[in-house]
Amino acid sequence: LTLIAKILAGRSSMFYNDNYKTGLINDTFSKDIMTEEAFSVVSFAGESDEPKLVKEKLMECIEVYRSKGIAQEEFTRIKNAYFGSFIRKFNSVETVGNMLCKGFLNDSDLTDFPEIYNSISLESLMQVLSEVFIEENCVLSVVNPLES
């Protein structure tokens, strides 16, 4: 899910750059992935004067990737960047401690990462994209300021 979210709306994505340039989104736009044993959530958040349009454009972006596919070069670039960010986490004792604790609570092992990483294929990402990133699984929540 993390790789797909980065491909769809990471700071190097076409979606992010096109919509940032037009002012539809700003630098508060972000993505977050929460994966637990019983559920997973991918959220895209940020400030916009037109949140419905942001959702519409994101759904259009997803449909383009679903119909045309993810380019091998883009997949490799994002996958390599993800690996690099994982390795950089070892620069922080606190982060390593957090990863070990989370792994213990989720009955997983930090040393499993290379095997899991190597098992990620472009085909598996496309399958998740077509099965999970669908309109029926999407919700838009908007927080509006109180009028005074």
Alpha helices in 10-132 (DSSP H): 14-21, 51-68, 72-88, 93-105, 113-119, 122-131
CA distance linking residue 143 with residue 133, whole number of Å? 23
User: Over the stretch 26-79, which tens digit does the pLDDT of each residue have?
Assistant: 999 999 999 877 888 999 999 999 999 999 999 999 999 999 999 999 999 999
**Percent of the chain beyond pLDDT 70?**
100
Q: What is the pTM of this model?
A: 0.83
Determine the distance from the C-alpha atom of residue 119 to the mean position of all C-alpha atoms in its chain, rounded to a whole number.
18
What average pLDDT does the structure give for the chain? 92
Please give the helix or strand (H or E) that residue 44 lies within, else none. strand 40-45
Number of other CB atoms surrounding residue 109 within 10 Å: 11
Decide if pLDDT at 109 tops 80.
Answer: yes
Decide if pLDDT at 148 tops 80.
Answer: no
